[in-house]
């Protein structure tokens, strides 16, 4: 047995153990991408760096055998910075999107490509479920959203954007799926205002099983949606049907009620465990404003959590500042609901922050065919029966197929993304020269290979070697231009006759991914 210390913790390890394994044995997690047990001594990613306190050297830990008397630090500033630099260098050579540009451009961060793919596969319920993860009112927004997603859509470069907004409306019509509350909660929530943000907040609170009462000064729900948008743009039946869903989920509506300051203080605050203020435009007279800290534009909230200065009271929508996009109000409604949910469970509030995203500039003209490999050549469909009527099923399916699958298949299990997020990587730091040309390879029935996402760890190559693939994979070339490929011009199908799944699982990035995802 060998005695060493890692971060001042005494460790006994068997001879031949690596420092990384020794650290893991006492719960010290060292990031690593290129390491897989039983796969040799060849560090490549360099994110598992640690400091040998005796020699002062920074070294990889995945291949460093433990030695008697060793003192290792995994938390020195120098170590953390070096790891971050390794990640930043890797990011500078990693061409691809994590989330698709449309999702990133969506104020509600909706998983648009997945919605599209499910529509294309005619799985409409599943598709609507994806939509409603983030957008509680897809039918309404399907008429009035200015669709920033479509401006970000990479397909605009090829011909025209995918008709995302209409697809969302289509699926909201085609399917009548909504979340059914599974548990019943005794704590009650009051929602003042039933405009887009109030309705959205209600949807997610109901989903969590909280009884919700929505107060509105008008005789019907919808707020500005109903009273400021002309019928030709947003038919009233659309609002009615989406409000009806909220009602079916268990919401109680109190119309023609204006909550005064007194009523709020003496009644609402006593009767409810949490309150969402979604009274809409602050320019209108609003007594409740006096109860909270305010800004020039409205109620002041903590960024992200939507918490007001009063505990248990959250605000969203135009009461904060006039919202030009209903989709943003809807997103805020969800955020307020999430915070109320945490508050009611006595949990600390979490500022939802967007996860790290790898992005790149525009597609090059010659990259269009690479991206179109996952798509169809048709140009954008317009509904045959006019914009108000929306897509027919056939049209929607065909339009959804135009999506180019810009999002990464390993979005949730990519180590590069995970560590880049964790180490707060500046992905642009080393973007200096020209980026690599993007390619997508489909010559395997099960998987997709995107070489420009590869970090050259070589795990897949090792696997084909150990598993005795006849053709196998190899590194081609040397240095910066090295790339992984099937040997001697074979296809990936020939190279990976029985190891495809293993290689995909080992791949730390989205370079190798299963097709289906």
Helix (H) / strand (E) containing 51: strand 49-52
Give the span between the Cα atoms of 157 and 368, in whole angstroms. Answer: 8
**Does 319 engage in binding with another protein (CB under 8 A)?**
no
DSSP state at residue 412: T
**Which of 98-106, 271-279, 390-398, 480-488 is the region at the interface with another protein (rule: CB under 8 A)?**
480-488
Q: Rule CB under 8 A: choose which of 80, 350, 364, 488 binds another protein.
A: 488
By beta-carbon proximity to another protein, the closer residue of 278 and 455 is 455
Residues 431-450 that bind another protein (CB under 8 A): 432-433
Residue 421: other Cβ atoms inside 10 A: 17
Binding of residue 77 to another protein (CB under 8 A): no
Q: In this structure, are residues 404 and 413 in contact, taking their beta carbons and an 8 Å threshold?
A: no
Which range, of 179-187, 217-225, 412-420, 472-480, touches another protein by CB under 8 A? Answer: 472-480
495 close to 486: Cβ distance less than 8 angstroms? yes
User: Which range in 58-66, 101-109, 349-357, 446-454 contacts another protein by CB under 8 A?
Assistant: 58-66
Q: Is 493 in the site for another protein (CB under 8 A)?
A: no
Q: Are strands 252-254 and 70-73 parallel, antiparallel or unpaired?
A: unpaired
Segment interacting with another protein, rule: CB under 8 A, options 151-159, 243-251, 280-288, 485-493:
485-493
Nearest to 276 by CA among 195, 201, 352, 375: 201
Contact 259, 275 (CB under 8 A): no
* Rounded-to-integer distance, Cα 50 and Cα 21, Å: 13
Our finding on whether 456 is near another protein (CB under 8 A) is yes
The tokens describing 407, both together, are 């999002």
The token duo for 181 is 């509350």
Instruction: For residue 227, state whether it binds another protein (rule: CB under 8 A).
Output: no
| Beta carbons within 10 angstroms of residue 512's beta carbon | 29
| Subset of residues 88 to 107 that bind another protein, contact rule: CB under 8 A | 89-90, 92-93
Contact between 477 and another protein per CB under 8 A: yes
Decide if residue 465 touches another protein (CB under 8 A). yes
User: Could you say whether residue 498 binds another protein (CB under 8 A)?
Assistant: no
CB atoms within 10 A of CB 297: 13
424 binds another protein, rule: CB under 8 A: no
User: How many angstroms separate the Cα of 356 from the Cα of each of 105, 257, 349?
Assistant: 14, 44, 21
228 binds another protein (CB under 8 A): no
475 binds another protein (CB under 8 A): yes
- Per CB under 8 A, which region of 43-51, 152-160, 220-228, 333-341 contacts another protein? 43-51
Residue owning tokens 């994806």: 130
Q: Which is nearer to another protein, 87 or 225 (CB)?
A: 87
- Report d(CA 348, CA 345) in Å as an integer: 9
Helix (H) or strand (E) holding 409: none
**Region binding another protein by CB under 8 A among candidate stretches 149-157, 234-242, 384-392, 428-436:** 428-436
Enter the DSSP assignment of 267: I
Q: Which is nearer to another protein, 245 or 503 (CB)?
A: 503
- CB of 63 or CB of 263, closer to another protein: 63
Binding site for another protein (CB under 8 A): 41-47, 49, 58-60, 63-65, 67, 82, 85-86, 89-90, 92-93, 429-430, 432-433, 455-456, 461, 464-465, 469-482, 487-490
């Amino acid at each position: 047995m060998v005695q060493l210390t890692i971060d001042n913790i005494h460790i006994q390890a068997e001879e031949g153990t690596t420092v990384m394994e020794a650290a893991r044995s006492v719960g010290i997690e060292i990031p690593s991408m290129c390491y897989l047990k039983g796969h040799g001594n060849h560090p490549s990613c360099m994110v598992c760096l640690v400091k040998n306190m005796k020699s002062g050297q920074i070294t990889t830990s995945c291949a460093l055998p433990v030695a008697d008397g060793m003192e290792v630090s995994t938390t020195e500033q120098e170590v953390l910075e070096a790891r971050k630099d390794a990640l930043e260098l890797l990011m500078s050579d990693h061409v691809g999107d994590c989330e698709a540009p449309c999702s990133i451009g969506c104020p509600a961060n909706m998983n648009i490509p997945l919605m599209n793919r499910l529509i294309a596969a005619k799985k409409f319920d599943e598709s609507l479920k994806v939509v409603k993860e983030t957008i509680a009112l897809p039918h309404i927004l399907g008429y009035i959203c200015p669709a920033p997603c479509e401006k970000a859509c990479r397909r605009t470069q090829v011909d025209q954007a995918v008709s995302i907004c209409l697809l969302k409306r289509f699926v909201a019509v085609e399917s009548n799926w909504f979340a059914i509350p599974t548990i019943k909660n005794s704590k009650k929530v009051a929602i003042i205002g039933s405009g887009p943000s109030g309705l959205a907040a209600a949807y997610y609170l109901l989903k969590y099983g909280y009884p919700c009462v929505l107060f509105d000064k008008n005789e019907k729900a919808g707020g500005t949606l109903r009273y400021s948008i002309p019928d030709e743009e947003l038919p009233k039946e659309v609002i009615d049907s989406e409000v009806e869903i909220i009602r079916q989920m268990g919401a109680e509506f109190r119309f023609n009620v204006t909550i005064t300051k007194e009523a709020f203080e003496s009644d609402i605050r006593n009767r409810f465990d949490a309150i969402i203020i979604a009274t809409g435009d602050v320019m209108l007279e609003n007594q409740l404003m006096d109860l909270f800290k305010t800004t020039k534009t409205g109620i002041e909230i903590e960024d992200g959590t939507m918490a007001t200065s009063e505990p248990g009271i959250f605000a969203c929508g135009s009461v904060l500042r006039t919202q030009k996009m209903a989709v943003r109000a809807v997103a805020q409604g969800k955020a307020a609901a999430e915070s109320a949910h945490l508050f009611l469970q006595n949990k600390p509030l979490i500022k939802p922050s967007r996860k790290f995203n790898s992005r790149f500039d525009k597609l090059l003209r010659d990259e269009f065919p690479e991206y179109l490999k996952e798509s169809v050549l048709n140009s954008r469909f317009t509904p045959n029966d006019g914009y108000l009527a929306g897509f027919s099923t056939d049209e929607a399916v065909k339009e959804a197929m135009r999506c180019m699958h810009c999002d990464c298949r390993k979005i949730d299990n990519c180590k590069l993304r995970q560590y880049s997020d964790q180490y707060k990587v500046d992905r642009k730091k080393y973007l200096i020269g020209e980026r690599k040309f993007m390619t997508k390879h489909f010559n395997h029935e099960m998987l997709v290979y995107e070489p420009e996402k590869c970090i050259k760890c070589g795990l897949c190559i090792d696997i084909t070697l150990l598993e005795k693939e006849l053709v196998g994979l190899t590194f081609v070339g040397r240095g910066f231009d090295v790339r992984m490929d099937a040997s001697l011009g074979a296809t990936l199908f020939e190279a990976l006759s029985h190891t495809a799944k293993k290689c995909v699982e080992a791949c730390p990035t989205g370079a190798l991914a299963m097709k289906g995802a």
